[in-house]
Amino acid sequence: MFEKSMSIGECLGEAARRLADVSETPRMDAEYLMAHALGIRRSDLLARLHAPTVPSAFEALLRRRLAYEPIPYIISEWEFYSLPIRCAPPTLVPRPETEHLVEAVLDAAGNAPVRMLELGTGTGCVAMALAHNLPSARIVATDRAPEAIALARENAARLRLDARIVLLQGDLYHPLRPEDANFDVICSNPPYVEEGLWDSLSRSIRDYEDPRAVLSGPDGLDMIRALVAGAGDFLRPGGFLAMEIGDGQAHAVGEILAAHEFAAITFVNDLAGIRRIATARKPV
């Protein structure tokens, strides 16, 4: 518990100390929780540091983070590509590296009207970012988890993008009809972690996030194989395929793409220098 005499700034310092063994960003986590308890933006906290009243809700929020619950679940929202995305367990929390997937698709699409398919939409963050930045795009997004589709629909409605995004529940291409073919773009942030690595992942992932959105077979490539195998049936000739991939998977993913006769195979590095996004085109 925090002493009643503590200012908000002192409370943040103590909270960061308690979070040091739980988070790599303890001070930032404490600030997000405090801002949420105060009902303000984190950027507005600086003006409140010397305030003598710590909100009563803060301790309960801190205890949730001390139990390794991800911040986006606690505050029910996370920013992705400058959009506020509603988050709820067990749907995967939007990650900053996935913004590179959005950038790759935006670069490929240009300003032309395009039909896009996103597989495994989760919160809908990628589909929302694409729809927001490409007003002429028409997007179909699928996910096998009904709770993810429900959350994505909520996000689409909140962001007033629901008129341009069709959300379908089902695994990969299964919800689509043959007449849905000839997409200009297919993109995905599929699960790509090896099953044997589950126990080594952070408790924030293991205790709260859906393992089906994280794990993908013994080598982490099962979902990518299925995604690539079906892409040729739904992409138009010359269509663009983009996927987020794991560290060290670029060579194997390149071989999978080449085996399915994709061309112009390239990789985009994330900010850590990891080849994070694989892109390719269906031959004309």
Give per-residue pLDDT as tens, 249-282: 999 999 999 999 999 999 999 999 999 999 999 9
pLDDT tens, 15-28?
A: 999 999 999 999 99
Count of structural domains, the chain: 2
Residue 3 has pLDDT above 70, yes or no: no
Residue 1 has pLDDT above 70, yes or no: no
Question: What's the CATH number where 131 sits?
Answer: 3.40.50.150
Q: What pTM did the predictor assign?
A: 0.93
Range of the domain at 242: 78-281
Per mean pLDDT, which range of 105-119, 191-205, 262-276 is the poorest? 105-119
* Residues 183 and 136 both lie in one domain: yes
The pLDDT value given to residue 251 = 98
- 3-state SS of the chain is CCCCCCCHHHHHHHHHHHHCCCCCCHHHHHHHHHHHHHCCCHHHHHHHCCCCCCCCCHHHHHHHHHCCCCHHHHHCEEEECCEEEECCCCCCCCCHHHHHHHHHHHHHHCCCCCEEEEECCCCCHHHHHHHHHCCCCEEEEEECCHHHHHHHHHHHHHCCCCCCEEEEECCCCCCCCHHHCCEEEEEECCCCECHHHHHHCCHHHHCCCCHHHCECCCCCCHHHHHHHHHHHHHEEEEEEEEEECCCCCHHHHHHHHHHCCCEEEEEEECCCCCEEEEEEECCC
Residue 56 has pLDDT above 90, yes or no: no
* Residues 42 and 87 both lie in one domain: no
The pLDDT value given to residue 270 = 95
The answer to whether position 1 is within a domain reads: no
* Residues 254 and 140 both lie in one domain: yes
Mean model confidence pLDDT for the chain = 95
* Residues 47 and 98 both lie in one domain: no
The pLDDT value given to residue 128 = 98
Percent of the chain exceeding pLDDT 70 equals 98
